[in-house]
Chains A and B, each alone.
Chain A
Amino acid sequence: MENFQQISDKLIEATVEIFTAMVMMEISVNGEPLDNIGTLKNSISGLVGLAGAYKGFVAVHLPENVAFAITSSFLGLDVDEINEDVQDAVGEIANMLGGNVKTELSDAGRDIALSLPSTIYGESYDFRPSDEAERIIIPFKVPGGEFFVELELEIE
């Protein structure tokens, strides 16, 4: 595999680019990568699976208020509840991040495809991958608060 660290670095670049160019929001990395994020409270997660030569997923985990701020900025809509617009915005961000990881991996000549994005939300939940694989969670900061981008990859 192209170095996992390199792919993680690209994911940071991609996140910053997506937020700067598409979401129109200031963003910065908020500290060191994490192994675990514990229980998510009043949050929404967007997820896109990677399948093919590499298996895994890219996820974005957003506290509700951050998700609202992002949706407002991204879609130009005022939102104060998790509705279809918020789900679409979060799914689309996961999709764009997944697309970027796919491009990075395909550069190495690998065949890889993205699944449909899905979102899940709730008052309190834990998220975990089922397999032992390379996993990284990157904390980011935007004006509305903190959120996380997660990547997991295994080689088939």
Chain B
Amino acid sequence: MLDDSITKATLEVFESMIFMEVQPGKTTAEAYQGTDLQVSGTIGFVGDFNGVLSIHCPSLVAMDITGNMLMSPVETVNSDVTDAIGEIANMVAGGLKATLKAEGINVVLATPTIFTGISLQTNIQKGVEHFLIPFQVPSGMFGIELTYQ
């Protein structure tokens, strides 16, 4: 249920805001494998259901997404890129929030934060559920990860 609603929210965001073709892959329990330079946006949500949603993009993918979103090419990982990735995390989490609400599960969102760096790793903590959904776009793959209790 959770991965379906995250996939749905992601497809909606890409269709309506980014105008980019995106193909979801198979949900996995693996951690995201960091790339040379990547941009990660992460947002916590709290309430009847607690978790953290993250989007991890190789820098090329992050720049492509931002370029499409702003309708002007982006050549470096600048603040437009970090803003865009934070905003996508926020919108996908918003979509998940809406799905949960329809099920009678209420959550509130924290603020998105963005990490830009080389070979970043996020943790999978003990006693916490986790999955990763890979997505294919023309310039490569990105991943959306959910950890929750």
Closest 3 CB pairs of A and B: A125-B117, A115-B44, A49-B44
Bound complex: CA A33 to CA B147 (Å): 32
Q: Count A-side interface residues using an 8 Å CB cutoff.
A: 40
Question: Which chain B residue lies CB-closest to A46?
Answer: B123
Q: Count B-side interface residues using an 8 Å CB cutoff.
A: 40
The answer to whether A118 has its CB under 8 Å from any CB of chain B is yes
User: Do A55 and B123 touch (CB < 8 A)?
Assistant: no
In the complex, chain B residues whose CB is within 8 Å of the CB of A124: 117-118
In the complex, chain B residues whose CB is within 8 Å of the CB of A115: 44-46, 50-52, 110
User: Do B46 and A49 touch (CB < 8 A)?
Assistant: yes
Most buried by A among B87, B108, B126, B147: B108
Chain B contact surface mostly: strand
In the complex, chain A residues whose CB is within 8 Å of the CB of B41: 130
Asked whether A120 and B120 contact (CB < 8 A) given A49-B44, A127-B115, A130-B111, the answer is yes
The answer to whether B1 has its CB under 8 Å from any CB of chain A is no
Write the nearest CB–CB distance from A3 to chain B, whole angstroms: 20
User: Do B120 and A48 touch (CB < 8 A)?
Assistant: no
Write the nearest CB–CB distance from B98 to chain A, whole angstroms: 16
The answer to whether B23 has its CB under 8 Å from any CB of chain A is no
- Selected from B108, B116, B121, B148, the residue in CB contact (under 8 A) with A113 is B108
List 16 additional contacts besides A51-B44, A114-B46, A122-B120; criterion CB under 8 Å: A51-B46, A55-B109, A57-B110, A88-B126, A113-B46, A115-B45, A115-B51, A116-B50, A116-B128, A122-B115, A125-B116, A125-B117, A126-B116, A128-B113, A130-B86, A130-B111
